[in-house]
Structure 1
Amino acid sequence: MYRTARDGTALAEAVEVLERASNFPRDWWTTPQALGRQAEARMLQATHDQQAVRLARGMAKMFPEAVDSRPATVLPEVARELDTAVELGRRALAFLAADDPRRCTALSVLAVVLSGRAEFRETLEDLGEVIALLREAIATGPADSPDQPIWRTNLLATLLQAHAADACPTLLDEAEALAREAAAMTPARSAAHARALVGLANVLNARDANGRETTAERLALLFRAHRAPALPLIERFHAAREAARLAARLEDWATAADQSEAAVDLLVHLIGHQLVVADREDLLAEELEVAGFAAACSLHLCDPMRALRLLEQGRGILLKRMTETRRDIAELHRQSPALAEEFTRIGAALAMVGGETALYGSDLDEHRLTTRSWEQVCEKIRVLPGFQTFLRYPVPEVGALTASGPVVVVNVSSLRTDAIVLADGRVWVVPLPGADSVAMVGRLTTFDQATDDVHASDLSAEDRMRAAAAIGDTLGWLWERIAEPVLGSLGLLAAGLDASGEGPLPRLWWCPTGMLSFLPLHAAGTYSARTPHGVADYVVSSYTSTLNALHASSTRPPHSRTDAPSLLVVATPEVAGQRPLTRADEDAGALAQLFPGASVLSGPQATREAVLRELTTHSWAHFACHASRDRWGRAANRLLVDDGELSIHDIAALTVDAELAFLAACGTAAGALFLADEAQHIASAFQLAGYRQVIATLWKVTDDDASEVTMALYRQLRAGVPPAEAVHSVTRSLRDRYPRSPWLWAPYLHVGA
């Protein structure tokens, strides 16, 4: 089950069961097999848990010039676990005599474990032994053993690794022979046959990586593999994605678009509810830019609507899974009350599990059955008239979506970077060749460090000035390479600047993808000259994670502006392990005076239970607290309250009808880098909970700066200024006062309608 769906809970359960089975008496028939399988399971678990290594290597595949593929250190506990797995495999083999029929299986298992360790270490140290073990298994095992094709495909994969190191042509000859043998000895519709086809495609690629002699055969092999129903979804996905990459290298954009679309479909299906959140995150971390690559292929075919559809389908997958079970099904109730009741019942069962808690045993089995029932009821619903796209997230109608202003989707991929502009019911593409993905990652790396260094009191003044210059350089780069071409295509630059700064500016929604989502497009501009000049001079910027998220927030009826908002203020001036927020209580008191009747939870009152309870009864919420953000890990995106923390899952699980959340904490609109396309951060969690608009930050802000922005914003909000315009007004005023200090005003942004 782990190999099929990357289900980490199933793998953990397997290790536990196999540990018990391995302790049975040595002379029992099952003991050597249990030892061997435990070795394999431990190897898989060690590499499954080693997220940092896989992340670095995955990013290196996309951006080899910008990212070092080798982490600074290999975590010793993972290395020890792999060594333990190898030792278990050796013990299993030692239990068996040379003529024991189980020996060939033990040889194969030890080879698999050694291969896993070699891949983790990124060395060739174990490969020679792996090759010898698999050759022995093939030679000594029964000719009609169903494992013969498996041993052959494992051996050919190892030979390809060895060939990559020394380019010995005889290794490729042997690998090709093994692939063709494995294909010949397996039924055409079996998973083993499909794996043999993939192996043969890999061999041909090694022979002809940059040529076209075997292109047609390679594409045909991969196409057959990804369409093989017997092959596990993860392997079908990899086959489709590799076919898309191959076609793209050959500039066969029609094939690349079709294959990359198939990869998106398979990834979405694979991520489904059967995985706990941690496993979904791990899988998405390994598979970078799937939707962006597919969209880029469609743009090569001059098909922006297809590109938008793929971006909607393949991005924000985790966020969609959080909200599917809460879908408004009033129309479904009218058409089929029985299906609506079934959907609601199964959705409630799914919502109770599969969050951050792993399941085991009968609970896990029950969850899998519930997941299958969920998929079946969704298929039944899609048969109904008008429900063909139920939970499929098509592109919203462009005219309605752009009624309040243009929407700009910036797609960043290793193939190309483009802005897809939606305005006045039309869609067009602005190519952005100067903002390629490698340059983007380089800029982000520098910018991300600079936003930390500029506030670092332990750094010298010279180092902080260097950080300030890096921030300014990045904003200038964003203006020149992205924002200026986009605004020009909209005709906004030709209108010129209103020197007085008066009069309403048009609204514009940014929808960045990939690593661009961590950079402040709304603040792009040149600020070193005497006159500041940037995006804020032409438009009022807002953000959305996807087009469907914007559609959902814009179609939700806003709260009446004539009614005074019911404001909840959460202030945690002191939290264990964090520096004190000296202005938090002061701001809470000022907001209580500005909004009579506001509810204030401060210090010990701001408990998890109290905050979650009060959020459901207020239309506005303000947080003056710390937030944790781990750029690389799953610990990201948590608000720290007096007795613990609120995760994005805690927040998103709420169901509220609310208008505005102001998250005056650090990095509340930025998630983990390894989930760049998921927009999985605190701000998006509040949107999922039911907040129509969110004000948040992209990086670290100081207590004093946040306090000044907070009070200026709320004075405008109290006067009836809409949140997006208030954020624009306050940050532009600060920009005009401190143009060369963008870290003071650029972190703040508006999300939503």
Structure 2
Amino acid sequence: MARAQAATRRFDASGTTGDLAVALDAARAACASVDNWHLAGDLLIRLLRLRYERTGSVEDLDDAVQAGHTVFKVGRAVVGAAAEYARALMARHELTGDPADVEAAVDMGRRVVGSTGEHDAALPVRRSDLAAALRLRFLLTGAAEDLAEALDLSARAVVGAVGHSPATRAAASATSALVHRARFAHTGDPTDLDHAIGQGEDAERHGRAGAPGGAERKAELAAALLDRHRLTGSAADLDRAADLARLAVAATPPEHPALPRHLAGLGDVHHARFDRDHDPLILAEALDVRRRVVGLPCTPDRLRLATALDLARTATAAGHGDVTREAWDLVFRLDPGSDLASTAVAHLVAVGRPRDAVEFFQLSATPGEPLRPFGELARAAVGGPVVLINVDAWRCDALVVVGGDALVVPLPDLTERDAAEAAARLVDAAAEPELSRAWLPATLRWLWDVVGAPLFAAFRHVGGEPGVLPRVWWCLAGRYRFLPVHAAGTKDGPSVPKLVVSSHTRDLVALLHPPRPRAEPVVLLDREGSTPLADLVPADARVLAATATAEQLGRANWLHLTEPDVTFAFADLDLGALDFVFLSEHAAPPIAEGDDLAAVLHAAGRTQVVASRWAAPDVTPALYRALSASGVPDPTDTATALHAALADLRRTGHPADWAGYAHYGY
């Protein structure tokens, strides 16, 4: 035991790696003694933790925690061992994020402080340790009482550390800085930030150069200074943060688990310097640092994801298309369900990568699906241009997929806020028809101004037969997918219906189904009695949903659904064989529920779908007459048939009478 203590004192004086190794060997030997192994527990735990701080060896940290657990479990832990156990637990939590380590550290810390005398020289550090554990728990739970207690303990620790060793003062000040910065993040009070920076500078003054924890103190002080720069614009704070962040990285061993975090902090500082100085060399530094973070094997996935997002932002600012694409690929590889696809699209458009932007738009329309190459997606526009409307807080654009390429039409007057408000109003209007009559005309004018006018001013589709309106497919994603862009405009002025025949699609993939032969119609009806469609097919080609067998449902390839309650098993349908579906406002799920049954049915196979999104006059007689011009119902040109069936209502009716009808298909 005496040898272990002497070796530890020698290491404390020299700080050399060799003395640390000798001290560890002596502590292990002391713990191997049957009589006093537990008395050397605090030395062993502390030395293992210190070697972890120097080298980043996770094995050392786990051994330190295990040693603490063993000493405590057998009930022979002295106060010093319990204190070291708590520190090891906090260090492991910083590495893994395990909340159980924080709970154990708080418990240990309370035991240690409660067992330490008021005049004990170790009390300031032990109060500081408990404050650090309570701060970590506050960050996890948001419990205000933990933060308040941490502030009180850290203040008492700072006062108590006066007159003690520089290491004690440095430790107490560093913890006080962390706790006050946590309160600043919670309340935004700049006095807390000033206090955190003052305490951080005090820790820097008293901390020994090269001592364990020095890199962490520098990184934390740099982060606090960066916060104050963002608040005040102080150039001095930013320059000081840059110096400290570089020193923190330089003082961190190459394989230490803290290196990715320190590099990420340096990347944040570089980006702030670029925002201030607009120096491309600084931006290149930021880009290089963020790529290092992403590429380090020891970077945790949470930090890797956050840094990939930062890398995308930095690369976009630098105009680096390849790196922007690389960063967003990584984001969605780490988080396939991310809701940031619209931002990815906006970034890729900004760096001149519209084809890549189209690929990522797919992830807005169908989250969680794998990316598909543009060459495959471009085949969806075989019948005419497909217009993808991307709505993002950063910028909004129309991506026009046509002729094997992707063209960008910026939509500078469309904002995410306005689009979200319009989508929300549409939900209300769909539930209350009178609201749609009051609200819809202005919304259609707005849609023309922000989408239709810039799109058709920049892009004119040339093709088709003379006197025949060209086709256009619209694709919107997320909460915006029900916005009636197909009806944008006014009765007496310019409008989308005067220029094109519109269809909708869930995404580009839904338009990739290969052509297939059409079968003789077998019509599934969900209401007894005569309907325009039923009258066009023989009686033996009609199936009533309420009495249909599974075999009859499986043969149905035309659906005419008008009832709110489904009386048959959708699973019995052969969705891939459906040729045509009509959904009234009752049969289609309400817009408020967010489901788009029409899009789902269309995407299931090469299906033509007509859906009414809210209550409107019945146009099925005119629609089915147009579809049966050859004598037999044929869905091939459903979009044009619907466009013609709505012509009279567009001329004489209110927009609410026709704008709710939408076609999904080919």
Length-normalised TM-score, structure 1: 0.56
Find 1:729's aligned residue among 629, 644, 649: 644
Give CA deviations for 1:317-349 in whole Å, capped at 9, x if unaligned.
Answer: 53626xxxxxxxxxxxxxxxxxxxxxxxxxxxx
Backbone CA RMSD of aligned residues:
5.4
1:543-692 pair list within 5 angstroms: 543-551=504-512, 553=513, 555=514, 557-561=515-519, 563-567=520-524, 569=526, 596=539, 597-601=541-545, 618-624=556-562, 656-665=576-585, 681-690=596-605, 692=607
Greater length-normalized contact order (CA 8 Å, ≥ 6 residues apart): 1
Whether 1:537 aligns to 2:498 is: yes
SS of the equivalent of 2:659 reads coil
Shift in Å at residue 731 of structure 1? 3.1
Contact 1:194-1:228 within 8 A present in 2 as well: yes
CA deviations on 1:288-339 (whole Å, 9 max, x unpaired) are 523312431343xxx5444434545x54453626xxxxxxxxxxxxxxxxxx
How far apart, in 2, do the equivalents of 1:320 and 1:422 lie?
20
CA deviations on 1:72-95 (whole Å, 9 max, x unpaired) are xxxxxxxxxxxxx99998666434
Q: 1:485 and 2:460 equivalent?
A: no
Counterpart mapping for 1:291-690 below 5 A: 291-299=344-352, 304-312=354-362, 314-316=363-365, 318=367, 320=369, 392-396=372-376, 398=378, 401-412=380-391, 417-423=396-402, 425=403, 427=405, 429=407, 431-436=409-414, 438=415, 441-446=417-422, 448-449=424-425, 452-453=428-429, 456=432, 467-478=439-450, 480-485=452-457, 488-491=459-462, 504-512=468-476, 517-527=481-491, 529=492, 533-551=494-512, 553=513, 555=514, 557-561=515-519, 563-567=520-524, 569=526, 596=539, 597-601=541-545, 618-624=556-562, 656-665=576-585, 681-690=596-605
Structure 1 position 431, deviation (Å): 3.2
Alpha-carbon distance change, 429 to 40 in structure 1, aligned in 2, over 3 angstroms: same
1:484 to partner: Cα distance: 2.5
- Alpha-carbon separation, structure 1, partners of 2:74 and 2:198: 26
SS in 2 for 1:320: coil
Amino acid in structure 2 at the alignment position of 1:725? T
Deviations 1:152-185 (A, max 9, x none): 6566545544554455677656754653344234
Alignment counterpart, residue 747 of structure 1, candidates 657, 660, 666: 660
Counterpart secondary structure, 1:396: helix
Q: Alpha-carbon deviations, 1:480-508, whole Å to 9, x = none?
A: 5344225x522479x99x5xxxxx53322
Residue in structure 2 matching 1:199, options 253, 259, 265: 265
The count of corresponding residues between Structure 1 and Structure 2 is 530
Task: Tell me the secondary structure at the aligned position of residue 318 of structure 1.
Answer: coil
Distance 1:696 1:120 in 2: 52
Structure (1/2) with the larger helix percentage: 2
Label 1:454 to 1:621 Cα distance change in 2 as closer, same or farther (>3 A).
closer
Change (3 A) 1:206 1:430: closer
In structure 1, C-alpha distance between the alignment counterparts of 2:591 and 2:497, rounded to whole Å: 21
1:266 — aligned with what? 330
Change (3 A) 1:660 1:33: farther
C-alpha separation between the residues in 2 aligned to 1:153 and 1:653?
61
Deviations 1:491-526 (A, max 9, x none): 479x99x5xxxxx53322223467764422211222
| Whole-Å separation in 2 of the counterparts to 1:588 and 1:109 | 74
- Structure 1 residues 200-258: Cα deviation after superposition (integer angstroms, max 9, x where no partner): 12133445533224333222212322333432444334324323433444xx42x1x22
Asked if residue 123 in structure 1 is aligned to residue 187 in structure 2, the reply is yes
Which has the higher Rg, Structure 1 or Structure 2? 2
8 Å Cα contact 1:567/1:620 also seen in 2: yes
| SS at 2:609 equivalent | strand
In structure 2, the CA distance between the partners of 1:37 and 1:224, relative to structure 1 (3 Å rule), is closer
Change (3 A) 1:158 1:430: closer
How far is 1:135 from its partner? Answer: 9.6
- Counterparts in 2 of 1:36 and 1:710: CA distance versus 1, 3 Å: farther
Cα distance in 2, alignment partners of residues 453 and 111 from structure 1: 48
Secondary structure at 1:431's aligned position in 2?
A: strand
Once residues 120 and 735 of structure 1 are traced to their aligned partners in structure 2, the CA distance between those partners, rounded to angstroms, is: 58
Q: Deviations over 1:265-294 (max 9, x none)?
A: 11231234xxxxxxx3xxx23x35233124
Deviations 1:437-482 (A, max 9, x none): x2x531551464266258648xxx8x87752442242243256534
Q: Aligned equivalents of 2:288 and 2:237: distance in 1?
A: 23
Offset of residue 261 of structure 1:
0.4
Q: Is the 8 A contact 1:451 1:471 kept in 2?
A: no
**Shift in CA distance, 696/659, structure 1 to aligned 2, threshold 3 Å:** same
> Gapped runs of 5+ residues in structure 1?
1-20, 46-84, 273-279, 322-390, 499-503, 570-584, 627-639, 674-679
Structure 1 contact 623–663 (Cα < 8 Å) conserved: yes
- For structure 2, list consecutive stretches of 5 or more residues without a partner in the other structure: 1-68, 117-121, 143-181
Matched, 1:221 2:200: no
Sort the Cα spacing of 1:588 and 1:106 in 2 relative to 1 into closer, same or farther, 3 A.
farther
Could you tell me how far apart the structure 1 residues matched to 2:592 and 2:310 are?
A: 28
In the alignment, is the contact (CA less than 8 A) between 1:525 and 1:535 conserved in 2? yes
C-alpha distance in structure 2 between counterparts of 1:130 and 1:248, whole Å: 33
Distance 2:184 2:542 in 1: 55
Q: CA deviation at 1:260?
A: 1.9
| Deviation, structure 1 residue 197 | 1.3
Pick closer, same or farther for the CA change 1:508–1:133 going to 2, 3 Å.
same
Kindly, what percent of the aligned residue pairs are identical?
Answer: 26
- Paired with 1:183 and 1:652, the residues of 2 have a C-alpha distance of 62
Indicate conservation of the 8 Å contact 2:341/2:360, yes or no. Answer: no
